[in-house]
Amino acid sequence: MKISSASWIALSERSSAAAPVFRRRFACQKAVKAATLEVTCDGVYEAVLNGERVGRFILAPGWTEYRKRLQVQSYDVKNLLKEDNNLEITVGSGWYRRTNAPWTGTRNPDEFLPAMLIAALHIVYADGAEETILTDESWEAAESEVTQSGIFYGEDVDMTRIPVFRPAVICDYPKDALIPQEGPEVREQETVFPRSSFRTPRGEWVIDFGQNLTGYMAFEITAHAGERLCLSTAEVLDRNGNFYNANYRSARSQLKYVCREGQQFYKPRFTFFGFRFLRVDEFPQGFSAKNIRAIVLHSEMTRTGWLHSSDHMLNRLFSNILWSQKGNYLDIPTDCPQRDERYGWTGDGQIFCRTATYQYDVRSFFRKWLNDMRAAQHDNGWVPEVIPSLTAYKPGGGAWSDAVTIIPWQLFETYGDLSFLSDMYPAMEKWIAYIPTVSTEKDLWTGCWTYGDWLALDAPEDYRPATIELSKRGYSSDGLVCSAFYANSVDIVIRAGELLGKDVSGYREMYKRIVRAYKARFSDRLNTQTEKVLTLHFGLTDTPQALADALADQIVSCGTKLQTGLVGTPYLLHELSRYGHAEIAWSLLLRREYPGWLYSVSKGATTVWEHWDGIKPDGSFWDDDMNSYNHYAYGSVADWVFGAACGIRPLKPGFAQALIAPQPDRRVASLSAVLDTVHGRIRSAWSRTDDGFRYEIETPTDAKIVIDGRTYAVGKGKYLF
């Protein structure tokens, strides 16, 4: 990369709130054959050449494990060049210098860095001559009109400000972390127009986009210099219909814009928001909702999966799950896009991964993130709980850091690409070697920090744990949860190792010991739903049918309600339907009361909620703290709809051969799933008839179709039953 010869430059050696703009003017007096701009920064940037935005990547260079990996983008800029050129690049704080929220209890040391830029423009002329313009002291810099910006902060812009340029200063900052761009670009994906605009009972002016989304607002106005437009974001209104965003916690999430004279168009350039509602706090004369729209941002991904049913509430749920993936796949897989987190929580990432691979082609999205996971893994094998990692934060526990085995395996299963396993194999081995070094019991994983079955509903009323964090974790045994995931991670290492031709005999012995220890320790203590579900799902019982029957009885006896949290929920319906209790699985899916998937739909949700009762039946909130309305974890139920309700599963990796074994339910008139696999389209649809069901199945490869207990081995084609 030419950029390695360039210097890091800044406006001054000290950090400042304003986003600096860097400028270089140059002439091209000959015909140009090719021109490439390489650029990156310690924040997020926007490059403009002769007044035109360079490329479509929003919030470049994205978020990576910056100290080790900082992506460099290369843009073909030949068509933007003229005889006299002006290249301007503005650098906002982004993730690099503004990520540690106060609740993490740690400061990000990079926040004290100045905003720095490094770039190289390589021009090849028609006559063969070449020229490279590198960032150096020939560049100028000024404070731009963006007076402050940050991912959680939002953006402050003063268009009356006139940048005063002076020579840029050279910074002595390492360049060894620079790597070429790996992941897909974050881009503007769609436009959403206001659905309504109204006054709340409190008198606030609110604009409703009708959809909770991730992105920003764009507006076009005519105003006088100095007039202000201030917009605050929210996901929901409170029970009185007033604007509410206390659930954003310390994330300010506002746009404050000071107008220049005349007609103007603006959209934030260095931040994003998770919102459905905008409160118009200040506005120029004549401003109306017609002046504004919302622009949806997410990483470039091709849609591969579609679910549709006869039930409008189920369809809304499917749509909410899709929107939660769009809203949280913005360069990295985040827990939520609005409050002061938006972190790459490993647990949430692995929980939703299967559903994600069905809805979109996420191969290159995950390849980049897994590379960051490898880079963030400590020498002793410990995998941080959020990736990219935060400075001095906690190690991840069971089900969170196990993302290091689960995600590569899932990608292999959905896409059949062995490179996910070969790339990650050393990291997986290091991870399972780390667990015994911290566990308090041999062949189990106990006595360590973990989130347990986070947010489960099964703790008794009078349960009063020592910390607030503990109170959010339900009643499943931490040791059981961690040990079950430990067994699973070792099992994945064995299966991956076999495929890669490794000697896994040692791991086989290790696995046997873990299973033996697990059974001895936990078999007679499988109390909660999650304890049973994990034991079934990871094959850690000698009597699976009896355990599944006990799980089904337990669910029915508490009113056919789930009590599972983040960890147990993704497997709950799968284990019920696998062992002959599909009807109960369906009852859980179709339940409209709390706790259940359709409860939030009945409350008007347009994305998946973090809590089953984020908004309670009386309209009050679960809490101000930790209450996101765009958290995809429970949306992982979509992989049960694809894999069990419509019955599409891989028999061979990548669906080179598929099993299609639908499990319909008479409470739903029809359901269909379409999945574009790497081998072609699979479709499984059923509809209720007077005396049974009608099935339409399409497969691009050999498949086994199972209908009413009968198996049909078929080749590529369309089938009707």
Those residues with Cβ within 8 angstroms of residue 216's Cβ, 6 or more apart along the chain or in another chain:
255, 267, 268, 271, 272, 273, 294, 295, 297
Helix (H, G, I), strand (E, B) or coil at 102: helix
- Using the rule CB under 6 A, give the single segment among 76-84, 340-348, 482-490, 650-658 that binds ligand BGC: 340-348
The single residue of 65, 227, 341, 575 carrying the catalytic annotation is 341
Number of residues that bind ligand BGC (CB under 6 A): 9
- Region from 181-189, 339-347, 365-373, 656-664 binding ligand BGC, contact rule CB under 6 A: 339-347
29 with 42: CB under 8 angstroms? no
Nearest distance, CB of residue 396 and ligand BGC, angstroms: 9
Q: Between 329 and 454, name the residue whose CB sits nearer to ligand BGC.
A: 454
Q: How far is the CB of 335 from ligand BGC (least distance, A)?
A: 4
Instruction: Give min distance, CB of 318 to ligand BGC, in A.
Output: 21
Interaction between residue 158 and ligand BGC (CB under 6 A): no
Neighbours of 139 (CB within 10 A): 24
Q: How many angstroms separate the CA atoms of 290 and 713, rounded?
A: 57
Tokens of 250: 């310390």
Note if the bond before 664 is cis, omega within 30 degrees: no
Task: For residue 463, give Cα distances in angstroms to 56, 457, 527.
Answer: 52, 12, 16
Cis bond upstream, residue 595 (ω within 30): yes
Instruction: Measure the CA–CA gap between 715 and 717, rounded to whole angstroms.
Output: 6
**Which CB, 219 or 454, lies closer to ligand BGC?**
454
Give the shortest CB-233-to-ligand BGC separation in angstroms.
18
| CA distance linking residue 355 with residue 611, whole number of Å | 19
CB of 255 to ligand BGC, least distance (A): 24
User: Which residue is it, tokens 């994906």?
Assistant: 189
Query: Using CB under 6 A, which of the segments 335-343, 482-490, 639-647, 663-671 binds ligand BGC?
Result: 335-343
DSSP labels, 432-459:
HHHHHHH-SSTTS--SS----STT-S-S
Residue closer to ligand BGC, measured from CB, 328 or 577: 328
Residues 548-607 touching ligand BGC, rule: CB under 6 A, are none
Tokens at 81, concatenated: 């060049």
Please, what is the minimum distance in Å from the beta carbon of residue 397 to ligand BGC? 9
* Radius of gyration of the CA atoms of the chain, in A: 27
Residue nearer to ligand BGC on the CB measure, 626 or 674: 626
Write out the binding residues for ligand BGC, residues 626-645 only, by CB under 6 A: 626
Residue with token string 């005999």: 505
Residue 454 or 594: which CB sits closer to ligand BGC?
454
> What are φ and ψ of residue 273, in 5° steps?
-130, 150
Q: Is 492 helix (H, G, I), strand (E, B) or coil?
A: helix
**Which of residues 347 and 497 has its CB atom nearest to ligand BGC in the complex?**
347
**Which H helix or E strand runs over 132?**
strand 130-134
383 forms part of the interface with ligand BGC (CB under 6 A): no
Q: Near ligand BGC by CB under 6 A, which window of 164-172, 275-283, 341-349, 525-533?
A: 341-349
Q: Which residues contact 46 (CB under 8 A, 6 or more apart)?
A: 53, 89, 90, 269, 270
Instruction: Based on the residue annotation, tell me whether 46 is a catalytic residue of this protein.
Output: no
* Complex with ligand BGC: residue 156 or 341, whichever CB lies closer: 341
Give the contact letters, 440-469, x = binds to ligand BGC (CB under 6 A), - = no: -----------x--x---------------
The mark string for 343-372 relative to ligand BGC (x by CB under 6 A, - otherwise) is: --x-xx------------------------
Q: How far is the CB of 193 from ligand BGC (least distance, A)?
A: 30
CB of 608 to ligand BGC, least distance (A): 12
Please list every residue from 46 through 65 that binds ligand BGC, using CB under 6 A. Answer: none
Assess whether 341 carries a catalytic annotation. yes
Stretch binding ligand BGC (CB under 6 A), from 33-41, 207-215, 334-342, 491-499? 334-342
Residue number with CB closer to ligand BGC (215 or 474) = 474
Q: Which residues 663-702 are close enough to bind ligand BGC by CB under 6 A?
A: none
Nearer to ligand BGC, 586 or 597 (CB): 597
Q: What share of the chain is helix, strand, coil (3-state, %, to 5)?
A: 30, 30, 40
For the record, the structure tokens of 513 come out as: 């010991």
Closest approach, Cβ 715 to ligand BGC, in A, equals 44
341 binds ligand BGC (CB under 6 A): yes
Kindly state the smallest distance separating residue 150's Cβ from ligand BGC, in Å: 19
In single-letter form, the type of residue at position 536 comes to L
Strands of 52-53's sheet in order across: 52-53, 44-49, 84-92, 20-27, 140-143, 166-167
Please, what's the largest Cα pairwise distance for the chain?
82
Question: With respect to ligand BGC, which residue has the nearer C-beta, 318 or 454?
Answer: 454
Angstrom distance (rounded) from CA 524 to CA 467: 28
Q: Spell out the alpha helix ranges (H) of 76-135.
A: none
Candidates 335, 361, 402, 453: give the one binding ligand BGC (CB under 6 A). Answer: 335
What is the distance between the alpha carbons of residues 178 and 180, in angstroms, rounded to a whole number? 7
Task: Pick out residues in 202-261 that bind ligand BGC (CB under 6 A).
Answer: none
Task: Spot the catalytic one: 145, 227, 575, 610.
Answer: 610
Q: Quick one: tokens of 113?
A: 């860095």
599-603 own/partner pairs: CB under 8 Å, 24+ apart = 600/320, 601/313, 601/316, 601/317, 601/320, 602/313
Give the active site residues. 341, 610
- Binding residues for ligand BGC, rule: CB under 6 A, are 335-336, 341, 345, 347-348, 451, 454, 626
